[in-house]
Amino acid sequence: MSNNLLQTPIEYLKGVGPNRGELLRKELGIHKYQDLINLFPNRYIDRTRYYKINELQNNNAEVQIIGKIINIKTVEQKRGKRLVATFVDDTGQIELVWFQGHKWIRESLKLNVVIVIFGKCTSFNGLFNMAHPEIELLSEHEQSLRSAMQPVYPSTETLTNRGISNRAINKMMQQLFLETQALFSETLPDYLVNELKLIPKNVALFNIHFPKSADLLARAQFRLKFEELFFIQLQLITKNLIRKHKIKGHPFDKVGENFNNFFKNHLPFELTNAQKRVIKEIRNDMGSNAQMNRLLQGDVGSGKTIVALMSMLLALDNGFQACLMAPTEILANQHFKGLTELAENLDINIKILTGSTKIADRKIIHEELENGTLHILIGTHALLEDKVQFNNLGLAVIDEQHRFGVEQRSKLWKKNDIPPHILVMTATPIPRTLAMSLYGDLDISVIDELPPGRKPIQTVHRFDSNRLKVWKFIKDEIAKGRQIYIVYPLIQESEKMDYKDLMDGYESISRDFPLPEYAISIVHGKMKPADKDAEMERFSKGKTQIMVATTVIEVGVNIPNASVMIIESAERFGLSQLHQLRGRVGRGAEQSYCIMMTSHKLSNDSKIRMETMVRTNDGFEIAEVDLKLRGPGDLMGTQQSGVLNLQIADIVRDKDILQLARHHAMKILKDDAPMEKPEHQTLRKVFIELSKKKNIWNYIS
Ligand code: ADP
Ligand code: MG
Same-domain pairing of 355 and 463: no
Over residues 256-289, the pLDDT tens digits come to 999 999 999 999 999 999 999 999 999 999 998 8
pLDDT of the residue at 181: 80
Instruction: Give me the helices (H) in 49-123, please.
Output: 102-108
- Residue 699 inside a domain? The answer is no
* CATH assignment at residue 347: 3.40.50.300
Domain boundary residue, one of 575, 593, 616 = 616
What H or E segment, with its residue span, contains residue 494?
none
Q: Which residues of 218-232 are buried (b: 16+ CB within 10 A; e: fewer)?
A: ebbbbbbbbbbbbbb
Beta pairing partners, 376: 322, 350
- Residue 35 inside a domain? The answer is no
Same-domain pairing of 289 and 308: yes
- Residue with the nearest Cα to atom 17 of ligand 1? 303
639 DSSP assignment: G
Distance CA 236, CA 437 (A): 8
- Residue 353 inside a domain? The answer is yes
Q: Which of 296, 297, 305 to mutate to test the pocket of ligand 1 (most atoms within 8 A of CB)?
A: 305
- One-letter amino acid of 650: D
Q: Write the CA distances from 651 to 378, 460, 646, 659, 696, integer angstroms.
A: 36, 31, 9, 10, 15
Same-domain pairing of 313 and 402: yes
What three-state secondary structure class fits 626? helix
Report CA Rg, the chain.
Answer: 30
How sure is the predictor about 637, in pLDDT bands with cuts at 50, 70 and 90? Answer: very low
pLDDT of the residue at 633: 46
Over residues 294-329, the pLDDT tens digits come to 888 888 788 999 999 999 999 999 999 999 998 888
Please count the other Cβ atoms lying within 10 Å of the Cβ belonging to residue 35.
Answer: 15
- Residue 204 inside a domain? The answer is no
266 DSSP assignment: I
- Residue with the nearest Cα to atom 20 of ligand 1? 303
pLDDT of the residue at 334: 86
What average pLDDT does this structure show over 625-654? 60
Q: Which atom of ligand 1 is nearest to the CA of 558?
A: 7
176 alpha carbon – ligand 2 mean position (Å)? 54
Least confident among 89-93, 107-111, 467-471, 632-636: 632-636
Distance CA 88, CA 591 (A): 67
Distance CA 473, CA 228 (A): 53
Over residues 561-609, the pLDDT tens digits come to 999 999 999 998 888 889 889 988 988 888 999 999 999 988 888 999 9
pLDDT of the residue at 104: 82
pLDDT at 479 over 70: yes
Give the residues surrounding ligand 1 with Cβ less than 6 Å away.
269, 271-272, 275, 298, 300-306, 427, 451, 558, 587
Count the domains in the chain: 3
Range of the domain at 522: 458-616
Distance CA 644, CA 651 (A): 8
Where in 387-488 does DSSP place strands (E)? Answer: 393-399, 421-426, 444-447, 458-463, 483-487
Same-domain pairing of 388 and 464: no
How sure is the predictor about 216, in pLDDT bands with cuts at 50, 70 and 90? Answer: very high
pLDDT of the residue at 616: 93
CA trace torsion 655, 660, 663, 666 (10° rounding)? -90
pLDDT at 291 over 90: no
Task: HSE, CB side, 13 Å, CA atoms: give it for residue 63.
Answer: 22
Identify which ligand lies nearest to the alpha carbon of 339: 1
Same-domain pairing of 442 and 470: no
- Residue with the nearest Cα to atom 9 of ligand 1? 303
What three-state secondary structure class fits 51? strand
- Residue 17 inside a domain? The answer is no
- Residue with the nearest Cα to atom 18 of ligand 1? 303
pLDDT of the residue at 243: 63
Inter-residue contact 189 to 680 (CB < 8 Å): yes
- Residue 393 inside a domain? The answer is yes
Same-domain pairing of 400 and 494: no
Distance CA 306, CA 312 (A): 10
Across the beta sheet with 483-487, what order do the strands follow? 458-463, 593-598, 562-567, 483-487, 546-549, 520-523
Domain boundary residue, one of 568, 583, 616 = 616
Same-domain pairing of 381 and 488: no
- Residue with the nearest Cα to atom 19 of ligand 1? 303
Over residues 610-620, the pLDDT tens digits come to 999 999 988 87
Task: HSE, CB side, 13 Å, CA atoms: give it for residue 607.
Answer: 5
Same-domain pairing of 480 and 499: yes
Same-domain pairing of 435 and 351: yes
Inter-residue contact 351 to 424 (CB < 8 Å): no
- Residue 136 inside a domain? The answer is yes
Distance CA 5, CA 246 (A): 39
pLDDT of the residue at 696: 43
What average pLDDT does this structure show over 44-68? 85
- Residue 184 inside a domain? The answer is no
Inter-residue contact 697 to 640 (CB < 8 Å): yes
Inter-residue contact 308 to 447 (CB < 8 Å): no
Domain boundary residue, one of 578, 596, 616 = 616
Distance CA 470, CA 597 (A): 9
Q: Which atom of ligand 1 is nearest to the CA of 587?
A: 11
How sure is the predictor about 693, in pLDDT bands with cuts at 50, 70 and 90? Answer: low
* CATH assignment at residue 64: 2.40.50.140
Distance CA 243, CA 232 (A): 17
Question: 197: which residues sit within 8 A by CB, 6+ positions away?
Answer: none
Instruction: Give me the helices (H) in 318-453, please.
Output: 329-342, 359-371, 406-413, 432-439
How sure is the predictor about 634, in pLDDT bands with cuts at 50, 70 and 90? Answer: very low
Q: Which of 269, 341, 554 to mutate to test the pocket of ligand 1 (most atoms within 8 A of CB)?
A: 269
Inter-residue contact 182 to 199 (CB < 8 Å): no
Instruction: Give me the helices (H) in 15-81, please.
Output: 17-28, 33-37
Percent of the chain with pLDDT over 90: 49
Same-domain pairing of 589 and 464: yes
Identify which ligand lies nearest to the alpha carbon of 305: 1
Of 60, 111, 104, 122, give the one whose Cα is nearest residue 87. Answer: 111
Over residues 348-384, the pLDDT tens digits come to 999 999 998 999 999 999 999 999 999 999 999 899 8
pLDDT of the residue at 76: 85
Same-domain pairing of 370 and 419: yes
Identify which ligand lies nearest to the alpha carbon of 267: 1
How sure is the predictor about 418, in pLDDT bands with cuts at 50, 70 and 90? Answer: confident
Least confident among 30-39, 384-393, 620-629, 673-682: 620-629
Distance CA 138, CA 65 (A): 10
Identify which ligand lies nearest to the alpha carbon of 450: 1
Same-domain pairing of 556 and 592: yes
Q: Write the CA distances from 124 to 57, 63, 121, integer angstroms.
A: 12, 17, 10
Please count the other Cβ atoms lying within 10 Å of the Cβ belonging to residue 58.
Answer: 11
Q: Which of 302, 310, 328, 454 to mutate to test the pocket of ligand 1 (most atoms within 8 A of CB)?
A: 302
Inter-residue contact 546 to 559 (CB < 8 Å): no
Percent of the chain with pLDDT over 70: 88
- How does DSSP assign 509-526, residue by residue? HHHHS-TTT--EEEE-TT
Over residues 518-538, the pLDDT tens digits come to 999 999 878 888 888 889 889
- Residue with the nearest Cα to atom 27 of ligand 1? 451
Q: Which atom of ligand 1 is nearest to the CA of 306?
A: 6
Distance CA 212, CA 147 (A): 6
